[in-house]
Structure 1
Amino acid sequence: MSTPSLLLSIARLCFLFSFNTVLFPASALRGVAPQDEKYYFDGAVIGCRDGSGSFSRDRLNDGFCDCGDGTDEPGTSACPEGKFYCRNHGDSPRVLFSSLVNDRICDCCDGSDEYESGITCPNTCRKIILTEDRKNDHDKEGANSDTSGAFENGHRLDMDDLFHKLTGLKAVALMELVFVVCVVTFCVCYRRTRTRRRRFTLNY
């Protein structure tokens, strides 16, 4: 393999590595509870939690049940024993049986369980928590405190949404930075190689 081809392969590997480590959490960990995400990053091969076998990372949420306990299918209904985790930002998280995923019924208030069923689930998490806060404020302080409590909780939810959006932007920016560094490294190495070859040719 020539030097330019080798350098180009290295640049591609750098890009694929950055793409995998940055975007994998956002795209493949559907239905996984935050405290369990680390389990899926231990290696390219992931063990079933019940010890029944193992699966490669590309078979995570692929629609085929490889583990008896549904470890490999947290985001689909492929495994009868699987569990789906609703993040429900702005409300309480919830765990569903996998049979409820994509069944055309909105079980998560954020609608995340119906991502491929063909129906659109409105995000009612904000509405739920604001309604509960208004009720609690009314019971404690009267009707005058309802508007204030709803505003404060609405502001808190807006900040949570902003935080999650910024986190996603940081991930994309990091991926682009790694890719640019790889390309620049490739260009510099390629130029040095050409310069050395020219000098060698001129000397002989």
Structure 2
Amino acid sequence: METSFFNIVSLVSTCLLFVSSSESLLPTTPFLGIHPQEEIYFKSEVIKCKDGSKSFTRDRLNDGFCDCIDGTDEPGTSACPASKFYCRNVGNTPQVLFSSRVNDHFCDCCDGSDEYDHGINCPNTCFKDGNTLQKNDNNLVRPHLVSVDAREASGRMSLEDLIQKLKELKIVVVGEVVLFSCVMAFLLFRRRIKSGRRRRRHR
């Protein structure tokens, strides 16, 4: 009986560890990955998906679950394959990445903002790599928003989608296994308690 109790405790702690580890992958600020000019769009309590398909509440912004097909609600996580992550890269050129490159243990943004789960240390190299202003035809122009180039878009799109689907599948499978283990341990615990009561009655 004591052994089954300790098994229950260990399984519950595993469940809590799984939940806490998934929460650690969430951005520290809900506006991470969003272009500064678009932040006002996300400040209302109820936000519409940009494709108009549905709406979501602000607490579901960057919560690690894909609510909008177009990825409007997850600009700062890798939950939606269609979403894009905006690197501010202060001191260098801003950049837009596929969301599947967020927390992939590879530093894509020179400010390191795409790797916030602490799985890898990304030092801020924005000021080291380039100047805030660039010269073009003897005129100073501010850095433009650089999207993923055509070569990356064509070569990496299917690979990015595949990686994202595998990540989502892994999370679902692990979650189901943990949940199933918790349920089975609980049922086993209840069964042992009932059998213990029956033995006491027969005595």
Map residues 6-85 of structure 1 onto 2, 5 A cutoff.
27-41=29-43, 43-85=44-86
Question: Would you say how many aligned residue pairs link Structure 1 and Structure 2?
Answer: 107
List gaps (5 residues or longer) in structure 1. 1-25, 137-204
Shift of 1:118: 1.2
Aligned AA (1:36): E
Aligned counterparts, 1:103-114, within 5 A = 103-114=104-115
TM-score for both structures, normalised by structure 2: 0.50
Instruction: Give the Cα separation in 2 of the matches to 1:117 and 1:47.
Output: 31
| Structure 2 Cα separation of the partners of residues 65 and 79 of structure 1 | 5
Secondary structure class of the residue paired with 1:84 = strand
**Segments of 4+ in structure 1 off by > 3 A?**
none
User: Helix, strand or coil for the counterpart of 2:34?
Assistant: coil
The answer for the alignment partner of 1:161 in structure 2 is none
Q: Which has the higher helix share?
A: 1
CA contact under 8 A between 1:86 and 1:113: conserved in structure 2?
A: yes
Give the structure 2 partner of residue 177 of structure 1: none
**Take 2:129 and 2:96, find their aligned partners in 1: how far apart are those partners?**
17
Cα-to-partner distance string for 1:15-66 (whole Å, 9 max, x where unaligned): xxxxxxxxxxx8210000011111012x211000001111101000000000
Q: Percent identity at matched positions? A: 65
Runs of 5+ in structure 2 lacking a partner? Answer: 1-27, 136-203
CA distance in 2, matches of 1:102, 1:117: 9
Which residue matches 2:14?
A: none
Following TM superposition, by how much is the alpha carbon of 1:110 offset from its aligned partner in structure 2, in angstroms?
0.2
TM-score, normalised via structure 1 length: 0.50
The amino acid across from 2:34 in the alignment is V
RMSD, aligned CA: 1.8
Aligned partners of 1:122, 1:30: CA distance in 2, in Å?
17
